[in-house]
A and B are shown apart, each in its own frame.
Chain A
């Protein structure tokens, strides 16, 4: 079983929600990034999602975009990310997941990328700009290295398309809470409920809800329908305002 699923299942077995914090690689700076990861890990993250910065992040809102562009300015690239991960291999209890856009991965070389994921202890990948129809060649490259492509579905994904994504999916299913980009929102749309229920039926892996999430109260109405929560912009905002990852995680544990 993919380590991402194992970790989320463990949290569920303890009666908790699986926690999936997101930080762009190199945020808030290249040194502190690794310390934040350690804090997130110590605070009980099930999966840590690491953003691979891209110049043109169309699925992201202003907070993630700004943070990612700053990381790029600081010289963050895939080689730097994998170097750091390899040096720390085995030190994280949480499963590791890389998230980004196709082009940097494509230029790095898919086979090298997959091999480096394995060498760096990464068990999953999210490609924000790659729907099912285009994903075959990426899945093929990841498979021999035990890396799973995490499917993203949302409020406008039909049951038929969910079924395409569910076939052979491992790790967890990322359910996007809004028709929109990443970023904090005060309220989540009520119609999430029926769509989440549908995803539950179609997928036999854990379901994580993401986009716009900050506080546990926000997801309370959906507690029975989801297994994990992803938070990115809110965590970035908290760190930018001078807070620490540990503080941010506290209300969730």
Chain B
């Protein structure tokens, strides 16, 4: 297989000026990641700063309501409230050991920005976060958190003013500041080696969850589910289940309002092959190859592309990718809150909604869902739904 590819997808489609920092990063992955010094410190950070391992939780009421056996992998209980911190502490420590002083990040929902700000504060580094101007408004509490922890948050006014434009701005900044800055990419997407690097830091989710489920139930789950934005919580949740042929794996993309032709965030379901942000993958685009604006009620899923490994897992038929619309996700947001006392992030609500909407075909099955984040950041939406 060609280097940096997952089947036909992936690659390094970036300006030559970014090749040296990517080569440097690849080299650091080879030398620093496996080192005793990195492993020891990183394991300690996951235990003592993140709170790993995160637990799995049984949902007795929803299980009864839906006629299935529902379990959650609780990434929402991580410090800073989502899976994002698994990645930012890993990349942050790697960058620190590479001698970098600045962590640069893009963010959509703000969760990755917050998690990068945490990493920077913990590692005594500077943090710069680019965030689409639209997201700055709709995820305002996270902007406050980032600033409180010392991050510089830069609103991005260009293009569609959401995550994809924040990535463009961060890539531009990285071209100029590559000497002392590490680009802490927030999802399992972008140019090689980011999809592999981010998976490396997120695979802990399924490494733990698989063993925890086995210990508790004496068997593997029938179905594993995660929401897919760029694809980092999903690849983390899927990785160690991929070889288990008995386990059905489902990735859930955001359908937007769900009306035909509406803006959505479902490139695996509704997009086509193309090149954006350094990767050949599935994209939402016009026939002329211009990138379409995306939409989801969940800012963290609002992205017109997806990590290349997901495009590959879809192509080889190992993972089923399906969609959930805004209304279904908002319903799941309320149902999980009311029935189990757990307020999920709107992103994670898409994964929960899958079990609700597909309960008929899931009758009697054990379903393990990655609850990628908590919903505190989304309470502003309450005005619209209650």
User: Please, which residues of chain A bring their CB within 8 A of the CB of B7?
Assistant: none
* A107-B288 contact in complex given A56-B276, A156-B20, C-beta closer than 8 Å: yes
Q: Min CB distance, B350 to chain A, in Å?
A: 25
Binary contact readout A96-107 vs B (1 if CB under 8 angstroms, 0 otherwise): 000001111111
Does A22 sit within 8 A of B, measured CB to CB? no
Does B158 sit within 8 A of A, measured CB to CB? yes
* A62-B13 contact in complex given A103-B289, A180-B175, C-beta closer than 8 Å: no
Inter-chain contact A107/B15, CB cutoff 8 Å: no
Measured CA separation A180–B177 after assembly (Å): 8
Does B64 sit within 8 A of A, measured CB to CB? no
Does A78 sit within 8 A of B, measured CB to CB? yes
Q: Min CB distance, B274 to chain A, in Å?
A: 5
B140-196, CB < 8 A from A: 158-159, 164-165, 168, 171-172, 175-176, 178
Inter-chain contact B19/A103, CB cutoff 8 Å: no
Look across to chain A and name the residue whose beta carbon is closest to the beta carbon of B165.
Answer: A56
Choose among B159, B276, B287, B288 the residue with the greatest number of A CB atoms under 10 Å from its CB: B288
Look across to chain B and name the residue whose beta carbon is closest to the beta carbon of A132.
Answer: B16
Measured CA separation A103–B176 after assembly (Å): 24
Inter-chain contact B16/A134, CB cutoff 8 Å: no
B198-240, CB < 8 A from A: none
Look across to chain B and name the residue whose beta carbon is closest to the beta carbon of A165.
Answer: B16
Does A176 sit within 8 A of B, measured CB to CB? yes
Measured CA separation A128–B287 after assembly (Å): 20
Measured CA separation A17–B265 after assembly (Å): 49
* A103-B159 contact in complex given A55-B290, A154-B17, A161-B19, C-beta closer than 8 Å: no
User: Please, which residues of chain A bring their CB within 8 A of the CB of B164?
Assistant: 56
Does B55 sit within 8 A of A, measured CB to CB? no
Q: Min CB distance, B279 to chain A, in Å?
A: 10
Inter-chain contact A129/B13, CB cutoff 8 Å: yes
Measured CA separation A154–B176 after assembly (Å): 12
* A131-B274 contact in complex given A107-B285, A156-B178, C-beta closer than 8 Å: no
User: Please, which residues of chain A bring their CB within 8 A of the CB of B300?
Assistant: none
Does B291 sit within 8 A of A, measured CB to CB? yes
Look across to chain B and name the residue whose beta carbon is closest to the beta carbon of A133.
Answer: B12
User: Please, which residues of chain A bring their CB within 8 A of the CB of B18?
Assistant: 131
Q: Which residues of B contact A (CB under 8 A)?
A: 3-4, 11-20, 158-159, 164-165, 168, 171-172, 175-176, 178, 274-278, 283, 285, 287-291
What 5 pairs across the A-B complex have the smallest Cβ distances? A107-B289, A104-B289, A103-B289, A55-B290, A77-B288
15 contacts between A and B (CB under 8 A): A56-B168, A58-B14, A102-B13, A102-B275, A103-B275, A106-B289, A107-B288, A108-B288, A131-B12, A132-B19, A133-B19, A157-B20, A161-B19, A180-B176, A181-B172
